[in-house]
Amino acid sequence: MLKRMRPAYTVLDNSVAGSTAAQRAPAFSSTPLTTHFVVLQHGINDGQFGQPYEPALRRMVAHVQAQGRTPVVTGLSRQTHPAPGRDAADTIARRVAGETGALFADWGAVSFKPAEMADVLHPAPAYSERLVGRIVALLDQAAPECRY
């Protein structure tokens, strides 16, 4: 979706579906990074499973910055039913971004309709497109020369 919205972007997907930041941080922290921006989208699973989200997120942000890259912390999207730990994890994401200088996409502020969910946790295409659109808008501000 990001590549479709901004064809000139180089998009590398290093995600691991279903992982928590706590699970992903050790391997991610030794991954060489080559893109200008690195999007970090964790928190829902961390909150639900009671994983230590903040230290893992901080470790990932620090790795991105140590590689000379700019981290983009998404914050957490919305769900049809309150996900355990969602709000606390979103607060952590906002705080970590603010304290580290990472960009914050604030996915929680993106308009949301329960009918636009694939299931109780995952956005369907229309909501996903608005979430990615939030990242695009943030990147357009941070690097307008890359817009086209």
CA distance 7 to 67: 24
Query: Which whole number is the average pLDDT over 117-123?
Result: 90
Q: Is the pLDDT of residue 148 over 80?
A: no
Per-chain mean pLDDT for the chain = 93
pLDDT per residue as tens digits for the range 72-99:
999 999 998 888 899 999 999 999 999 9
3-state secondary structure of 6: coil
Tell me the pLDDT band of 28, cut-offs 50, 70 and 90.
very high
CA 21 – CA 90 distance, rounded (Å): 13
Q: How confident is the model at residue 15 (pLDDT cuts 50, 70, 90)?
A: confident
| Local structure of 35: helix, strand or coil | coil
pLDDT of residue 138: 96
